Chains A and B, each alone.
Chain A
Amino acid sequence: MELTKNITLGVYLPGKSFIHNLDPRTKIIAATIIIVLLLFSRSYPAFALSALFIAALIIFSGLPAGYVMRGLKPMLPVLAIMWVFQLFLFKDPDAAVYFQWWIFEATEAGLQMGNLIILRVLFLFTITTFLTLTTSVVSLTDGLESMLKPLQAIGLPSQELVMTLVIALRFVLILAEELEKIIKAQMARGVAFDRGNFIQKTRKIFPVFLPLFIGAFKRAEELIVAMDARSYTGGKGRTKMKTLHMGRVDLGAAALMIIYSGLLIYIITTTEPMI
């Protein structure tokens, strides 16, 4: 039961690559563009190009590729279930039928739909993980804050929202560690999490989350007091240690993104969609 080892979302691995040094706004915008384009991708060549592009980014960043992908492991069962659902439940009267049993029908359309959804989720996950791995939460939120600033004019409390996000991200890992401790404590008292059928297993999970939530609320209260003691009174009147500057690397990144987007849009529009 090593939960924390598998959590990569929200973790930042410091480094010196040009991707690490990009302005967070550049990275946020780039990630958004990649994600939007992914949602329009419907063909294998399009995914292949994105895969190449993301692989190149990971190599440039100097991050261990295994670490980036490790976070996927806990998601695999969920993905498998999603895939099976799509396979059997996606109906298309024109598609070839592979397999039929009672009311279930595995069609080619279902298979392609399953693949499409899995690919999208995999890419979404990888790109967001990659963003947080190469961007400290602080610069990420600095970027968000500066991008959301114009919305303050229409009454959006952008600084406070961003601070909430900062803290939520910092506590992901702490809560995962706590969850692991609770599970181990219950295992030590004889709870066998890996035994029993699906319902029995699920039932064993509830007593794990109750202490986790109580612990989380306690932490939240302590954190509020600590922030209060350090004179936090909301976004008003705050200054920042770091101000954001876009530089030559950002220009380079923009050029790279334009090339990638252009290529991908070309592929999306010219290749045969999976479904």
Chain B
Amino acid sequence: MRKLIETIDLTYHYRSGTKDEVKALDSVSMNVFQGEILAVTGQNGSGKSTLARHFNALLTPSRGEVFVKGLSTSEKNNVKEIRKIVGMVFQNPDNQLVSSIVEEDIAFGPENLGLPQAEIIERVDWALRTLNLESLRREAPHNLSEGQKQQVAIAGVLAMKPECIVLDEPTAHLDPRGRREVLENVLRLNREEGITIVFLTHFMNEVIHCDRMLVMENGSIKMQGPPVEIFRKSSELKNTGLDIPVASRIAEGLLREGFKIRADIIHTEELIDCLCQLKSST
């Protein structure tokens, strides 16, 4: 698989050079591969947001390097190109929408790129269509639900046609329905448009849909791999302050009690299937 983003020995200090310097990232080396969905998890303060902000040069390394498609983020001349490749969605939709009309907010990014008018209109239409937001086109953001606002924020990034979208806890402020809708749309963007996704979250039920996950603690990567493998090492994961999905927890308990059940269950549907099989075999 091709590397889209690569960090090499990435170290970052907040308030660098002052006496209350804080090390937020400590020699992080990782990759984001083209076309994958990567979940980045970790408790608050584990450094996941700081890491994510290096992916489109909002932050640049104190030491080490970050490459986006081979372009170093530390090089000022690359920043414009990098931000075209990697888009970013933040936690609070209210603080990232610029305009008081949905379609005009979505146009903000393409306008900044200096695209011709016809192309901007085409992209805005496309972004609205892709996320099923056409009915909200002329709405004002303050009349929308939190979930809808977040969809608009995603559309705003999508209209810039990035190869990768980084979402920094986009579901943290949302109700369960909003969370599900955002997640479904993000998964669809990956599947249908081939957009690489980096998804920051601490909801394990969202992580199970991702191809790969990173677990961060104190500014470094503690675990990485497919969610199935990580959730099997539940005690190690719990040491970082995170939990495993409900289905895995139930399966783990049953296994401990001596039931013959697969150890790699993460989805609720899988659990149901296995339980039904277990029932019919006894």
Q: Mark A residues whose CB is within 8 Å of B.
A: 11-12, 14, 136-138, 166-167, 169-170, 173-174, 219, 222-223, 225-233, 237-243
Which residue of the partner chain, among B84, B97, B108, B121, contacts A232 with CB atoms under 8 Å?
Answer: B108
Decide if A166 touches B99 in the complex (CB within 8 Å). Answer: yes
A-B complex: 7 closest residue pairs judged by Cβ atoms: A226-B96, A241-B107, A222-B95, A231-B112, A229-B88, A230-B109, A137-B100
B110 within 8 A of A: yes
Docked complex Cα distance between A240 and B107 (Å): 8
Docked complex Cα distance between A166 and B98 (Å): 8
Residues on A with beta carbons closer than 8 Å to the beta carbon of B58 = 225, 228-229
Decide if A174 touches B56 in the complex (CB within 8 Å). Answer: no
Residues on A with beta carbons closer than 8 Å to the beta carbon of B101 = 12, 136-138
Docked complex Cα distance between A123 and B92 (Å): 38
On whether A241 and B142 interact (CB within 8 A), knowing A226-B90, A226-B95, A227-B98, the answer reads: no
B120 within 8 A of A: yes
Decide if A223 touches B96 in the complex (CB within 8 Å). Answer: yes
Residues on B with beta carbons closer than 8 Å to the beta carbon of A228 = 58
Decide if A229 touches B111 in the complex (CB within 8 Å). Answer: no
Residues on B with beta carbons closer than 8 Å to the beta carbon of A219 = 94-95
On whether A241 and B109 interact (CB within 8 A), knowing A136-B101, A166-B99, A222-B92, the answer reads: no
Q: Chain A's nearest CB lies how many Å from the CB of B172?
A: 13
| Residue on B nearest A227 in the bound complex, by CB | B98
Decide if A241 touches B80 in the complex (CB within 8 Å). Answer: no
Known: A231-B80, A239-B115, A241-B110. 15 other contacts (CB 8 A): A11-B140, A136-B104, A137-B101, A138-B104, A169-B100, A170-B98, A222-B95, A226-B95, A226-B96, A229-B83, A230-B108, A231-B112, A232-B112, A241-B120, A243-B117
Decide if A12 touches B107 in the complex (CB within 8 Å). Answer: no
Which of A136, A173, A230, A233 has most chain B Cβ within 10 Å?
A: A230
Residues on B with beta carbons closer than 8 Å to the beta carbon of A12 = 100-101, 140
B138 within 8 A of A: yes
| Residue on B nearest A169 in the bound complex, by CB | B100
Docked complex Cα distance between A233 and B108 (Å): 12
Decide if B156 touches A230 in the complex (CB within 8 Å). Answer: yes
Residues on A with beta carbons closer than 8 Å to the beta carbon of B138 = 14
Residues on A with beta carbons closer than 8 Å to the beta carbon of B176 = none
Q: Chain A's nearest CB lies how many Å from the CB of B123?
A: 9
Which of B84, B96, B115 has most chain A Cβ within 10 Å?
A: B96
